[in-house]
Amino acid sequence: MTEYKTPEQKKSFYNSAAWKLLRLQALERDNYECQHCKKEGNVTVDSVKIPGQKKEVVLNVDHKYPIEFYPKLALVLDNLETLCINHHNIKEGRTFDKIRPRSKKKRWDDERW
């Protein structure tokens, strides 16, 4: 069984032809829309490639069950979900508030005269 624990193993997987084909199938199945936004009544669709420019990343295809813990599900279409960058970051715990939570405490504790 293949493992996807190291960054090199993951990079190899995400560069594979099998992943790229399955990723496109997931995007097509999800109509190139973020599924979490859709549940909230919003619409977030993929960006359009403009010739001569780098395509803006708007959507990710996410594994519901991460490949490092569930390698058998790495290439299972039902384990994939199209998410916008914002929802993907929230799911993965990569939001600004998690990185540097906002403090309710005052910056200075000076007395007021």
Mean pLDDT in each 10-residue stretch from start to end of the chain (113 residues)? 89 96 97 94 88 89 96 97 94 70 51 56
Q: Is residue 107 part of a domain?
A: no
Instruction: For residue 92, give its domain range.
Output: 7-47+54-99
**Per-residue pLDDT, 47:** 85
Residue 109 lies in a domain: no
The answer to whether position 1 is within a domain reads no
Q: What pLDDT score was predicted for residue 98?
A: 47
Whether residue 15 is contained in a domain is answered as yes
Asked if residue 104 is part of any domain, the answer here is no
In terms of C-beta distances under 8 Å and separation of at least 24 residues, what long-range contacts does 60-63 make, across chains too?
60/84, 60/85, 60/88, 61/23, 61/26, 61/27, 62/88, 62/91
What is the tally of structural domains in the chain?
A: 1
Is 34 within the bounds of a domain? yes
Backbone angles phi, psi at 82, to 5 degrees: -85, 125
Q: Residue 59 domain-assigned?
A: yes
